[in-house]
Amino acid sequence: MKDQEILFVGTAEAEHVEMYLKAIWHIKESGDPVKISTIAKMLNVRQPSVVQMLKKLNEAKLVNYNKSGVSLTKAKINFEIGYIKGLSLNTR
C-alpha cells in the first residue's frame, strides 16, 4: 500500500451539499424564485428530501431558508466566484 497512490473520495453528504448549492445558484441566476419544487425537479428528488437538506444547510449557515424561500448566504460568495471561474476555464 505504501507505493500505491491513495485517492480521496468526498463523502456522499458533501457531494449532495454541493449539488444543492449549485442547483440553488443556477435557479437564482436564471431569475426564477428558488422554490422547493424547482430544486426537487432540477435534482430529480422528492420535495421532503429537499426540505430536509435545506434545514441542514440553513443550520450550517450555507443558505437562508424560511417560508419566503431560499437564498445563498454571504458565506457562499466564494462558492459562487469559484464556480463561475470554473465555468469560465471550462469554456475556453
CATH topology of domain 13-90: Arc Repressor Mutant, subunit A (1.10.10)
Task: Please give the chain's pLDDT, 92 residues, in tens.
Answer: 455 554 445 566 777 888 898 899 899 889 999 999 999 999 999 999 999 999 999 998 889 998 888 988 876 556 555 655 554 444 44
How many alpha carbons fall within 13 Å on the CB side of residue 35? 6
Whole-prediction pTM: 0.69
Q: Buried b vs exposed e over 21-46: b needs ≥16 C-beta within 10 Å?
A: bebbbebbeeeeebebebbbebbebe
DSSP character at residue 62: S
